[in-house]
């Protein structure tokens, strides 16, 4: 038989949520999530332990977190729940309603670094073939997608690319990345070929505005925005029949992952991506490892 949450606990929750709104100005959805988590916690305490929110101890908190884990909550959800409880008890400790915070000595679950979303080589090929290169905008988009995948540029580096940064003779791009760090990145023959086609046939048709050194022009002849290019990629992904949600950064991830899949040295990939710390690049070895595990599971007799 379900036990109702004591009115005294409901008033404590209301007071805490009101304090969050006043002190931090949190959004209504966030406040409602806090209220819901605390109400479930109070319900569990009333039913299982027969105590109120302010009588709970560390053992009850650990038991509740364990019960939620048994329900297969994700590590991230468990961390969020503990953060909610911790905030509630710290507030009431500050208000002198409790003497001991029952969450004080409980470590938060360690969140594994999420693997970046990538695309298979087949999906990348379909995406690159999607634009209609008989039109200036399609030719521009094909050149941008080819260059993005071939060089692993960040989207801001791509849309701001200027003629002074590109050497078609040497087939390299000089990129000014984060922290004004400069790096040289090879384009590859395919991307270079499409870039030259765009410069010869596509860009002149888009030069409607004042003269500019920016290579990739918008429909109005100015520099493209990140949002515009993001929408263009989403459009071509739909045309290509790619169901995964992708962004300009997805091709940067695909660039790194596919290089490592084909045996590239991690430090070379680090230089190409412009990462100052090798540990940032090492995430791609995990992506490649997950791909290898999937292939092994699918094709090995004992997979």
User: pLDDT for 92-141, tens place per residue?
Assistant: 999 999 999 999 888 776 555 554 566 788 888 999 999 999 999 999 99
Task: Report residue 198's pLDDT band, with 50, 70 and 90 as the boundaries.
Answer: very high
pLDDT at residue 203 greater than cutoff 90 = yes
- Contact, 257 vs 287, CB < 8 A? yes
What was the pLDDT predicted at 97? 92
Catalytic residue, chosen from 232, 252, 253, 258, is: 252
270 has a pLDDT exceeding 80: no
DSSP sequence for the chain = ---PPPHHHHHHHHHHHHHHHHHH---HHHHHHHHHHHHHHHHHIIIII---GGG--HHHHHHHHHHHHHTT--HHHHHHHHHHHHHHHHHHHHTTS-SS-TTTTPPPPPPPPPPPP---HHHHHHHHH-S-TTSHHHHHHHHHHHHHHHH---HHHHHT-BGGGEETTTTEEEEE-GGG-EEEEE--HHHHHHHHHIIIIIHHHH--SS--SBSSB-TTSSBPPHHHHHHHHHHHHHHTT--S---HHHHHHHHHHHHHHTT--HHHHHHHHT-SSHHHHTHHHHHHHHHHHHHHHHHSTT-
Question: Is 197 tagged catalytic?
Answer: no
Residue 55 has pLDDT above 80, yes or no: yes
User: Considering only 106-110, 235-239, 270-274, 286-290, which range has the smallest mean pLDDT?
Assistant: 286-290
Other beta carbons within 10 angstroms of residue 39's beta carbon come to: 14
pLDDT band for position 289 (cuts 50, 70, 90): low
Q: Is 252 a catalytic residue?
A: yes
Domains of the chain in sequence order: 7-94 (1.10.150), 121-299 (1.10.443.10)
Q: pLDDT tens digits, residue range 220-268? A: 888 888 889 989 989 999 999 988 778 777 777 787 777 777 776 666 5
Catalytic residue among 94, 113, 178, 267: 178
Residue 73 has pLDDT above 50, yes or no: yes
pLDDT at 76: 73
Among residues 140, 142, 154, 253, the one annotated as catalytic is 154
Q: What is the mean pLDDT of the chain?
A: 81
Q: Which of 234, 249, 286, 291 is catalytic?
A: 249
Choose from 29-43, 67-81, 177-191 the range with maximum mean pLDDT.
Answer: 29-43
Catalytic hit among 140, 203, 232, 275? 275
Least trusted range by pLDDT, from 78-87, 92-101, 217-226, 281-290: 281-290
Is 275 a residue of the active site?
Answer: yes
Which residue would you say has higher pLDDT here, 29 or 196? 196
Is residue 249 annotated as a catalytic residue, yes or no? yes
Whether 184 contacts 173, CB under 8 Å: yes
User: What tokens does 130 get?
Assistant: 């999607």
Q: Which of 2-11, 21-30, 230-239, 257-266 has the lowest mean pLDDT?
A: 257-266
Alpha carbon distance 174, 108 (integer Å): 43
pLDDT average, residue stretch 265-276: 60
* Residue 173 pLDDT greater than 50, yes or no: yes
**pLDDT score at 25:** 80
């Amino acid at each position: 038989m379900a036990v109702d949450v004591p009115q005294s606990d409901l008033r404590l929750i209301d007071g805490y949520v009101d304090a969050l709104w006043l002190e931090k100005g949190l959004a209504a959805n966030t406040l409602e999530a806090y209220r819901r988590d605390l109400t479930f916690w109070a319900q569990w305490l009333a039913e299982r332990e027969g105590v109120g929110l302010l009588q709970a101890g560390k053992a009850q908190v650990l038991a509740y977190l364990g019960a939620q884990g048994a329900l297969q909550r994700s590590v991230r959800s468990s961390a969020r729940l503990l953060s909610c409880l911790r905030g509630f008890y710290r507030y009431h400790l500050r208000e002198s309603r409790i003497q001991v915070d029952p969450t004080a000595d409980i470590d938060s679950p360690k969140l594994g670094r999420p693997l970046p979303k990538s695309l298979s080589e087949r999906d990348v090929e379909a995406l690159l073939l999607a634009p209609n290169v008989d039109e200036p905008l399609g030719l521009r988009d094909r050149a941008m997608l080819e260059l993005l995948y071939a060089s692993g540029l960040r989207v801001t580096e791509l849309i701001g690319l200027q003629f002074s940064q590109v050497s078609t003779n040497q087939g390299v791009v000089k990129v000014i990345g984060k922290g004004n760090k400069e790096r040289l990145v090879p384009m590859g023959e395919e991307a270079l070929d499409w870039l030259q086609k765009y410069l010869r046939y596509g860009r002149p048709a888009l030069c409607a505005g004042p003269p500019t050194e920016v290579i990739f022009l918008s429909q109005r002849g100015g520099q493209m925005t990140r949002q515009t290019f993001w929408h263009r990629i989403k459009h071509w992904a739909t045309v290509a029949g790619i169901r995964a949600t992708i962004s300009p950064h997805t091709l940067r991830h695909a660039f790194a992952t596919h290089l490592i899949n084909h045996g590239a040295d991690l430090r070379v990939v680090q230089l190409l991506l412009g990462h100052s710390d090798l540990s940032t690049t090492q995430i791609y070895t995990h992506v490649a490892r997950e791909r290898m595990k999937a292939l092994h599971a699918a094709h090995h007799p004992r997979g």
